[in-house]
A = this chain, B = another copy of it.
């Protein structure tokens, strides 16, 4: 292969594809160069320079440019593929036309559900597409019932995963586990360090000595700064700072204030941290982020470097990708001009992959392992009484802790007096005190815990999901009626995973998520319209929540404050302890 590149450059052999005469964004020198040619042989670049006539033969496809701009394909340096709820094939269909040719993917969610074997299957699933994926080894997840580091895979398994060539590092490791010297985490860092791969960070909220201690461990990136001073504090500690602009958070506008500072940009990176189906279809992906950075006043060449070379350098991938140079993989986009990040043409792995927003190549057909397709494992179907809550007294009033929704992802503890009825505590729709249950779904235990929630606003029916954040993605259901809660969960079992809204034991909206209980096999467009239907239906059932699915999926999470729920009980995030439902 290298020999072919040499021969094409020397004019001894012909190129497959030649781009003739555009303005080249040279990410290495930081220049925009006029009248440049790029010649491609196979999947790689053979020639870059002022005259590529000698590389053209009878079978060479030639793309003639005028004033258009030639730039490297974008690389998303931090993302979660499951954010769209769709398959990797569907993701690629929308990512590539926008000019993103590579992404670095977290696998913690996969290890969470499917363990080591799941990660190994995933490495196979993401391979061989017209878009390139690199992956991070699974990091730790907070354990249940309380929040402690829990190994998802053994050290021996990590050792095997980290050595894989497509694995570029260890996934984001939340900072307190490091500064607290969790022994499992310390071993994970040492294993990764030994293989000279990256330790991806997650230092939200850390500052001063704690941030320094975290970085001293060898952590080499963070995508969590939301203010310029947080960005600078991290950059000055030598780590690669990722500016996040995606569906989870949008930090670019605030952080774009760096444009007025005289600093070195090489360790600044633009990332999505994951985009949902709606954003991917309607806003776009990395091209949207780069465009926004330029619109916010960041120098266009620097903005492009932040989504290409800077990312590649961070992950030691710059020998392969991140720039347009001889020997590099031919991942190239053609833009109308330097300030319009709307690729007219996308070349990926040396092939024309998209033109004017339309995909020209098909992703590989992916098949999922049986364990992924059978991930809702409960011992039996549920009934209304499975959701009853025992009262400590037969009659009279009882004070209980209630999860109160205060923003889409933030909750707080409320305390409410509820009447005991025949030794149980009821939900009270009129006071917006609904029931909320979390059900373990991987280990066939059927372990369930039911509490109360306020602020969700349903007047009837139930809303259930097998997609939830953190922990082992348990089933979560909120309801104004116990029979509907049982019905919704039972329907999810039948669908092998999904999102279900029901009323009077009749389905109103269903989005099947049969892959691991959190991915749909539907086209992204249908996922978007299903999610739109979810939003409207929940609203029609009385809820005023802006994004009820996001709120539902994050209720069992452990990364957002303050009162959360899992299958073991209510959890106080600040103290990392289980707290009683009944206020003693």
A residues adjacent to B (C-beta < 8 A): 2-3, 5-11, 26-31, 33, 44-49, 54, 178-179, 181, 186, 189-190, 193, 196, 208-210, 212-218, 220, 232, 235-239, 262-264, 266-267, 305, 313, 316, 319, 323-328
Contacts and interface: CB of A to CB of B under 8 A. Distances in A.
A235 B10 contact: no
A6 B264 contact: no
Given A2-B190, A49-B212, 13 more contacts: A2-B189, A5-B213, A6-B178, A10-B179, A28-B235, A28-B267, A29-B235, A44-B216, A47-B216, A196-B316, A215-B325, A220-B319, A316-B316
Contacts of A220: 319
A326 B215 contact: yes
Nearest to A310: B266
Contacts of A10: 179, 209-210, 213
Nearest to A54: B209
A105 B207 CA distance: 39
B325 A238 contact: yes
A237 B48 contact: yes
Nearest to A231: B29
A48 B216 CA distance: 10
Given A186-B2, A209-B10, A33 B236 contact: yes
A459 B498 CA distance: 97
Nearest to A266: B266
A49 B209 contact: yes
Chain copies in complex:
2
Contacts of A45: 216
Contacts of A178: 6
A317 B364 CA distance: 37
A232 B29 contact: yes
Nearest to A10: B213
Contacts of A319: 193, 196, 218, 220
A48 B190 CA distance: 22
Nearest to A235: B29
A11 B186 CA distance: 19
A206 to B, nearest CB: 11
Contacts of A237: 28, 48, 325-326
Nearest to A36: B236
Nearest to A183: B3
A239 B323 CA distance: 11
A214 B208 CA distance: 47
Contacts of A324: 238
A325 B28 CA distance: 25
A179 B325 contact: no
A216 B326 contact: yes
A580 B327 CA distance: 42
Given A209-B47, A236-B33, A5 B216 contact: yes
A222 to B, nearest CB: 13
A267 B318 CA distance: 12
A216 B237 CA distance: 35
29 contacts: A2-B189, A3-B186, A5-B216, A6-B178, A9-B209, A11-B209, A26-B236, A28-B235, A28-B237, A28-B238, A29-B232, A29-B263, A30-B264, A31-B236, A44-B216, A45-B216, A46-B212, A46-B216, A47-B209, A47-B216, A48-B212, A48-B236, A49-B208, A49-B209, A49-B212, A215-B327, A217-B327, A236-B325, A313-B313
